[in-house]
Amino acid sequence: MNITLVADNREKLSGIPGMLANKGADVTMMQLATGDYMINDEIIIERKTSTDFVASIINGRLLKQCAGLRKTKMIPLIIVEGNPFQTGNNIKPEAIKGVLLSVSLQWQIPVIRSSGKNDTANLILMAARQTEFPSYFVKRTGRKPKRITTQRHFFVQNMPGVGPAIAHRLLAHFKTIKGIISADVKSLQTVEGIGKGKANKLFEFFRMESK
């Protein structure tokens, strides 16, 4: 599976985008309004060190970020690097547990802990691979996601590297599925969220002969 994802510019210093690229992912750096990593316009990930996670609890920033993740209409995920109970901050463990429960239950955003940056990169890749099997999640939940509203959108969003948001942009730009399929690489790149790698991938997919 060719994994395509977007990393926020501020994540470059962490070294994780480089790790993801070395592990075979197609990484595009750009400024994200919300989150740190976006996978196929389907999953939005907020990465936090344990220290930053606890600090965001104290200053209230975490709840604002949860609201932002929810507004994207993508599947949200928070990855916490390290142990938030051993940061040295003057905050009771019960308070941290309460926030973790609130984020998971009230905001319905899963929080996963990682042991470090390399572990975080592996978790991001694992999350990306989950998008390869959308029918599995439909079967488990017993319903199709609400964001799939038309057959056209459903068709387009199942193209390689295309999720719901990019499908919407492609149809808004090219108007028809025929217009998308007929587009050249440069035209495809004019759509937000489609870099050179993804554009080439789509172009080749549309012209692939059956064997």
pTM confidence score: 0.64
Give the chain's radius of gyration (CA, Å).
19
Q: Residues 23-60: pLDDT tens digits? A: 989 899 999 999 999 998 889 999 999 999 999 999 99
Q: Which of 67-71, 140-144, 158-162 has the lowest mean pLDDT?
A: 140-144
Question: Count of alpha carbons within 13 Å of 174, Cβ hemisphere only?
Answer: 24
Answer for the pair 129, 3: CB distance below 8 angstroms, yes or no.
Answer: yes
Report yes or no: 105 and 73 within 8 Å, Cβ to Cβ.
no
CA torsion, points 79, 84, 86, 89, in degrees to nearest 10?
A: 130
Residues 77 and 46 sit within 8 Å (Cβ to Cβ): yes
Strand 37-39 relative to strand 43-49: parallel, antiparallel, unpaired? antiparallel
pLDDT score of 41: 81
β-strands 37-39, 26-30 pairing: unpaired
Residue 208 has pLDDT above 80, yes or no: no
Q: What is the pLDDT of residues 181-192, one digit of tens each?
A: 889 999 999 998
Partners of residue 77 on adjacent β-strands = 45
Instruction: Tell me the average pLDDT across 7-35.
Output: 94
109-138 tens-digit pLDDT: 999 999 999 999 999 998 888 776 554 444
Fold of the 4-130 domain: Rossmann fold (3.40.50)
User: What is the residue-averaged pLDDT of the chain?
Assistant: 84
Fold matches, 4-130 and 134-206: no
- In the sheet that 4-8 helps form, which strands lie side by side, from edge to edge? 26-30, 4-8, 37-39, 43-49, 75-81, 111-114
Region 67-85 average pLDDT: 92
What is the CATH number assigned to the segment(s) 134-206? Answer: 1.10.150.20
Asked whether residue 72 carries a pLDDT value surpassing 60, the answer given is yes
Domain ranges of the chain: 4-130, 134-206
Return d(Cα 65, Cα 156) in angstroms, integer: 30
pLDDT at 20 over 50: yes
